[in-house]
Structure 1
C-alpha cells in the first residue's frame, strides 16, 4: 500500500500550490488524506464523495475539512462558487466523464482551475482499450485526456506525467524490472514459497517516499500517471 499511497501523495504535493488561499472542492475525496493536505494552504476545502463510510471518516478525522456526501454528477455548490476543483485518481472510475467535466466547469469561477490526475492508459493497461482494473470504466492516454478537457471547454494549462525517480528506478531493476509487477506477482500468487511478501520487497516498498517520484512534461506516453491543470476561460 505504501507504494501507491506515496505515488498519489506526490501528485497532491506537486499541485497544492495551485490551492493556496483558494476555495477548493475535492471531487471524489476517498478517505480524505489529500483534502487534509490541501487544507494546509487553501482558504477552504469541501471534500465530496458518494461513499458514506468515507464521508463519515473525514467528518471525524479531519476537522479542518468540510465534507458533503453527493454524486459527482451534481456537485453541491452554486455555479461559479469554486476556485479549484481537485480530482485525483477518480475520473477513470466514472462512466460519464464528459458530464462530470461539464459539472466541474459549472462549479468553477472564470479563471478557476481543475486539477486532475489519472492513470496513463498506455502504461497502466498497455495494448488494450479495456481496463484491467474492474473498477475503472475508462482509462485515458495523454492525448485522450487533453481532448476530453478541451471538449468540456477548458484550456489545458499543464499536462505532465508522473514517473519513477532514480531511487525507484533502481528498485525496478532490483525486483526483476518492475517493482509494480513484483507487488502484483505476490498479490496474484505468482511467487513460490510460503512467505506471501518477501522481506526485501516489503522493506523496499516501505522506504519509498513521495519525493521518489518525478513530475515533468517529457515522454508523456511512458508516464505512470497523467497530471493536468485545466483553466475555465
Structure 2
C-alpha cells in the first residue's frame, strides 16, 4: 500500500502535469510558474522544499556537482543555471565567477537566495534573459513540455557568448521513470513531461546550431568527456534488450553513470 503522503503527492502532481501536457503554447508562458507554485502549496513536504531548509554544506550531491563544474569555472566566467531551484548550487559557484545567474520559474523555491555576484531571475520556463559563457541545467529538460524543449534550446544558444558551453544533465528514459511515477508507472506521468536518451537530446542540440556535442561521465572522483558515439552505441545495445532486462541493466551503478544524459554543447 502506498504511503499516504506519497499517494497525495502522486495524485496532485499527475493532475497538474496533465494540465501542463494539454495546454497551449500561450498558456504555458504562465502555467510553468503557477502550477509549480500550486504543487508546493499542495505538497509542503516536497523534496525541493525540504532541501531548501537544509544547510547548503550538508546537502547530498552538492559537493560532487560543484566538483563537476569546477574545471569550467574561472574569474571571467559568466555562469547561468536554469532550473536553479533553491539556488544552492548557484550560491556555491557565485564566489568563483565574475557573475552568476540563478534562473527558475518558482519564486517560492528561490526565495532567500543570496551570495556575492549572484542575481536571481524569475523566468517563464522558456526564456533565458541573460548573456553567459557557461549555462548549466541539472534535472530540467525533462520538466519542459516537449513542444517547448527546442524553443528553450534556441534561447540557450542565443544567450551563450561565442565559444560558450551549455552543460545539460537530465535522466535517461531507459532507466526511468525518474519522477513521482517511479515504481508505479512504466513511463513518467508527473512533471517529467518527457525523459530523453542521449541520442535524442544531442539531435535537438545540433538542430538549434550547436557546433559540437560531447558526452560527459563521472565515476567516483574521475571525470572526463567522451565521444558521443560511444555512449549512443552503448545506449543502442541496451535498447535491444527486452524492456524489463534493459531497465535493470541501465540501472546498474556504473552503466547508469555513463548512460545518464550529461551533454556538453559548444557554441561555435
> Alpha-carbon deviations, 1:133-157, whole Å to 9, x = none?
5110111111112111111211334
- Equivalent residue for 2:198? 142
Once the 2 structures are TM-superposed, how far is the Cα of residue 124 of structure 1 from its aligned partner? Answer: 2.4
Establish whether residue 109 from structure 1 lines up as the match of residue 169 from structure 2. Answer: no
* SS of residue paired to 1:46: strand
- Equivalent residue for 2:81? 26
Q: TM-score normalized by structure 1?
A: 0.66
Residue 118 of structure 1, aligned match among 167, 170, 188: 170
- Equivalent residue for 1:47? 102
Establish whether residue 17 from structure 1 lines up as the match of residue 52 from structure 2. Answer: no
Residue 62 of structure 1, aligned match among 102, 112, 115: 115
Once the 2 structures are TM-superposed, how far is the Cα of residue 132 of structure 1 from its aligned partner? Answer: 2.7
How far, CA to CA, are the matches of 2:175 and 2:161 in structure 1? Answer: 34
Which segments of 5 or more consecutive residues in structure 2 lack a partner in the other structure?
1-46, 52-58, 179-185, 236-254
Q: Which runs of 4+ in 1 moved over 6 A?
A: none
Residue 87 of structure 1, aligned match among 129, 137, 146: 137
* SS of residue paired to 2:206: helix
Once the 2 structures are TM-superposed, how far is the Cα of residue 63 of structure 1 from its aligned partner? Answer: 5.0
Measured on the aligned residues, the alpha-carbon RMSD in Å equals 2.7
Q: Choose between structure 1 and 2: higher helix proportion.
A: 2
Which segments of 5 or more consecutive residues in structure 1 lack a partner in the other structure?
166-210
Question: 1:162·1:226 contact (CA, 8 Å) conserved in 2?
Answer: no
* SS of residue paired to 2:111: helix
* SS of residue paired to 1:72: coil
- Equivalent residue for 1:202? none
